[in-house]
A = this chain, B = another copy of it.
């Protein structure tokens, strides 16, 4: 489609008067979110049970259409959806990819921009917009559930991006509460990356990267009490080779 190319309007104004966006054939555009958190050392994704057709009753990612009147960008759409479902205003949010083709939605050509978010655990029951059923689904159970549209693939896309990015950035901090022990931090990184880490090496790198601030408190559960830390002002990268 190169509708513009062969035309020769006398002025831009005339063009704008004569045409508006709705005259171009455009696909449906949605924004979908893959919201991750950690609950008791188990990685979870937020899912919604669809209450309407198509795909009624199936699990789907939270998301939906852009509100052309109130949203001024697609990031805003994503943040609005996130706030609706979780009550969280400022998560870690990153665009993963945009998938567009004519087969993913039974209604025809459709395009979705996928985001993923990282949050510390929040209770989500009843936090939803229209009484749709919203719940944290364990990543282990993603495989065994039937899902709407291509949302299972979307989850895998987001999951891959997550694992990868956690290994060379500090985004993993976002699933933890304010205060944490280095063991908790390591465990979180391991789960997010799906990869075991060496205790000494991990601590050495964390210290070298200067990403954490030791506090004067300790967390005592079993065994020797662990020092509590908090995240320092985040830096984009800390160049770990393979964590």
Contact = CB atoms under 8 A, between A and B. Distances in A.
Interface of A: 1-9, 11-12, 15-16, 19-21, 24-29, 50-54, 56, 64-68, 72-74, 95, 97-103, 106-111, 113, 129-130, 132, 239, 241-242
A15 B26 CA distance: 20
A65 B26 contact: yes
B21 A108 contact: yes
Given A19-B107, A26-B29, A26-B65, A52 B7 contact: yes
A72 B52 contact: no
11 contacts: A2-B129, A3-B65, A5-B129, A19-B107, A21-B107, A21-B108, A26-B27, A27-B68, A29-B111, A72-B103, A73-B101
Chain A contact residues: over half helix, strand or loop, or mixed? loop
B16 A24 contact: no
Given A52-B5, A53-B11, A100 B74 contact: yes
A64 B111 contact: no
Given A15-B53, A53-B9, A113-B98, A65 B21 contact: no
Q: Which of A7, A11, A53, A95 has the most CB of B within 10 A?
A: A53
Contact of A24 (B54, B65, B99, B242): B65
Contacts of A28: 21, 24, 26
A213 to B, nearest CB: 27
A62 to B, nearest CB: 10
A6 B239 CA distance: 47
